[in-house]
Structure 1
Amino acid sequence: MNNNTTPLAPLSSGSSAPLGDLSASRDVRRRVLTLAQLREHGVGGPRAAAECRPGGPWQQLLPGVFLLHPGTPTSEERLRAVLLYAGRPAAKAVPVPAQAGPDAPAYDSVMITGPAALALYGFSSSPGLLSLDRIDVLVPRTRRLRSTGCARLIRAHALPRPEQVTGLPVAPVARAVADAIADLSEARTVVAVLTEAVRGGHCEPAVVVRELTLSGLLARPHVVQAVDTLLAEGRTLAEGRLYEMVRAYGLSEPVWNVELRLPGGAKLGTVDAYWPEFAVAVELDTRAAADEDDDGAGWAEAVRKREHLERLGITVVHLTPRKLRESLDQQATVVRTALMTADARDPAAKLLALPR
């Protein structure tokens, strides 16, 4: 689809364009209309049905949603039809301006999700829009409609705030990923989708894991297997950004990926980077969400390790993949400050740093 597509919006109550002009319009908003919108042009149900007879100039894409030409609908026309069917906007709704943001009223709290949403986000691991038989649309649980034709309704107790992609309301990437994975049965395919979500910078691993947990998908062994791969992918990317930060911003070289021990042999845990002469350690929080969801056990253990190191006089700097991705310069400043202020702190215990 063209990323310059005009944002979709219902016709205004004042619109009175002739139907012939609408069917020939390049604006998809004028070619795909609900019956309520057609009535604004003086076309009732019997007339609309007559126009959709075999060989007629129109076609009915979904209950109450009409395409004002006889040819194969485009992907954009199908997407709009699904949103109109699921959203049921009023015929007299105020048009959404082209510059409207995510808070603008449109489609009555529904949004594209699943494979169609991933296609709109540009995922190469997801089927293209033209190959999709069904388009998933996220709706409130109370919406009294059923899935039909190319529209599959996915009900939710609480709807996320949609993103605007080519003017369409689309579920956030993590939610769209979870809805797409719900229909996948092979770990390899799931891994491809999850990896692209993280490697493409669409979202952090922890956000995806949380969404998969809320969707109940972590009860499926092939999804758990894929998540393990995802977390490893997320750690690899975060470690790469940490190396880049140290070298690009002229920080002194630490020892990497070491296990800290007291001289007597007691293990204190592992850190991602350690400056022995400054008693400063950096730890990447890449599994935060997973640890929190694991009855808090993993999270509590991580906190105990950090507190123990800090009691020994070690300054522990906690960095997340998101911080490294979005503000590498700020994180470099945090680490540099910890290194520069080492002399002002009480002497730390001497620790052994062994390869992980």
Structure 2
Amino acid sequence: MTQTSPPTLASLARTTPDGVVRTAELRANGVSGSAIVGRCRPGGPWQRLLPGVVLLSSAEPSRRQRLRAALAYAGEDAAITGLDAASLDHDLGVRAGTEVHVLVPASRRTTANGYVVVERTTRMPALIERDGLRYAPMPRAVVDAARRERDAVRLRTLLSGPVRCGACSVSELRAELDSGNQRGSAAPRAALRSVSDGVVSLTEGLARRVARGAALPLPRWNVPIRDVTGRFLGVVDAWWDEVAFAWEVGTHHFRLGRTEAHHYGRNPHLGAAGVIVLRTPPERLRQDPNGVRKDLVQAFHRAANRVRPPVHALSDRVPATRR
């Protein structure tokens, strides 16, 4: 076999994705085993990241290079899970450590090595491919990370983060916990219950951030409204009193049962009293915040351009009615 010349090796390093390659591929390209060993020696131009996986550089490997090497080591049908996958598109407030967690089919005999944690599973998920790397979807990635997390604060942050940013729901995380490996699931289940209890505050927090970014005065929050006679009309999530404009994002729906939620979510009394009400589904706060801000501004101006109805926040003093 003809040994690959140095200029060809340099070209190989430039064209190999992230500079990470399996030794089997190097040999298939004409690089001898002795050349691989020699170039991976201390002080050499290459380095061995994992068994059978080489980085065609002597520099400190990046996180992405470590991820690609983990997949190359684990095999073509492997996928990255845990915090690296969960943080693919969202900052969840929890950083990955040095380990890379990968899933492989249960039939594979790949074992953990170096910084790679290998989990064999009979439930390989539908994978997300991004820039040549394969990842588990958000609910699976979060639960896989949660089952290995021992710090209570990090665990709750990990589980609440994707709910807060709209990447997945509490019910999706709970379903993944129910379907997956039950080992190490007790602490995530307990933490998820507290996240479920806090969904209201998470939704309201997101709504507050959206409102702060709109070109409007800041509203009051969780405001009971009554008409001029003192009749109770309902509680609104956000209230602009100067124009009698209400915004509902679903926080009170979560606090109440089905009957009460229907009453507040489709409250006929507010509209009948002349209140302009904008209703925004919680998921839209996460998916389209700029669109929601435009809706808020338009609804506010519509309210400002009509005669303000005689309604008041419950804490306000209602003018005396004429006898």
TM-score in terms of structure 1 length = 0.58
Structure 2 residue matching 1:183: 3-state secondary structure = coil
- The residue aligned with 2:319 is none
Structure 1 residue matching 2:168: 3-state secondary structure = helix
- The residue aligned with 1:187 is 152
Q: Distance in 2 between matches of 1:301 and 1:340?
A: 30
For structure 1, which runs of at least 5 residues remain unmatched after alignment? 1-15, 89-107
Structure 1 residue matching 2:128: 3-state secondary structure = coil
Q: Distance in 1 between matches of 2:286 and 2:41?
A: 55
Alignment of 1:31-70 (within 5 A): 31-42=19-30, 47=33, 51=37, 61-62=49-50, 64-67=52-55
Alignment of 1:100-139 (within 5 A): 111-117=79-85, 125-127=93-95, 131-132=97-98, 134-138=99-103
Q: Distance in 1 between matches of 2:212 and 2:56?
A: 57
Structure 1 residue matching 2:13: 3-state secondary structure = coil
| Mapped contact 2:244–2:276 kept (Cα < 8 A) | yes
1:234-283 deviations in Å (ceiling 9; x for gaps): 422422432553xx24x6x7654212457898866421234678664211
Tell which structure's C-alpha radius of gyration is larger.
2
1:172-206 deviations in Å (ceiling 9; x for gaps): 6665444322322333122444566678xxx32x7
Q: Distance in 1 between matches of 2:35 and 2:262?
A: 66
- The residue aligned with 1:303 is 262
TM-score in terms of structure 2 length = 0.63
Q: Distance in 2 between matches of 1:75 and 1:173?
A: 19
Q: Distance in 2 between matches of 1:86 and 1:116?
A: 16
For structure 2, which runs of at least 5 residues remain unmatched after alignment? 178-184, 316-323
Higher RCO (CA < 8 A, seq sep 6+): 1
Q: Distance in 2 between matches of 1:311 and 1:125?
A: 39
Deviation at 1:153, TM superposition (A): 3.7
1:133-182 deviations in Å (ceiling 9; x for gaps): x311355x577454421142475454253444xx6455566654443223
Residue 65 to residue 263, structure 1, CA distance change in 2 (3 Å): same
User: Which of the residues 149, 152, 159 maps onto 2:118?
Assistant: 152
Counterpart residue type for residue 303 of structure 2:
L
Deviation at 1:41, TM superposition (A): 1.4
Q: Distance in 1 between matches of 2:60 and 2:188?
A: 40
Q: Distance in 2 between matches of 1:310 and 1:264?
A: 13
Structure 2 residue matching 1:136: 3-state secondary structure = strand
Q: Distance in 1 between matches of 2:35 and 2:247?
A: 68
Q: Distance in 1 between matches of 2:57 and 2:209?
A: 53
